Amino acid sequence: MEVNIENLKKEHGDIQTLTLKDKAGKTVATAYLKEPGRVVVARAMSLIAQSKPLEAGEFILENCFVGGDQTILENEKFKMSASMQAVQLVELLDGELKKN
């Protein structure tokens, strides 16, 4: 399957490539994900707070998937693996809060 990453970038902004590999290191599936927006991050953080990291990753994966192998969304084993990787899309900046 041919995916034009430049076209995806024009349409969705920054794109992350998520690859799943078998035990031999061979790539078995690839997904292209856009950056999650506020609504997606808020829902994912809510699920993580409820000790549901897999569900958080699934939510991010399903809402940020813009191309690649549909197998990642359809195959349970692939989806679970990709979901755990997709959580990394939520990028928080380091910060500091101090009392004045």
| Burial letters 45-72, b for 16+ CB under 10 A, else e | eebeeeeeeebbbbbbbebbbbbbbebb
Q: Give the model's pLDDT for residue 37.
A: 95
Residue 3: pLDDT band with limits 50, 70, 90: confident
Average pLDDT value for residue range 19-36: 95
Residue 92: is its pLDDT beyond 90? no
Q: Give the model's pLDDT for residue 1.
A: 57
Residue 91: pLDDT band with limits 50, 70, 90: confident
Residue 29: is its pLDDT beyond 60? yes
Residue 2: is its pLDDT beyond 80? no
pTM of the full structure: 0.88
Percent of the chain topping pLDDT 70: 98
Average pLDDT value for residue range 2-20: 92
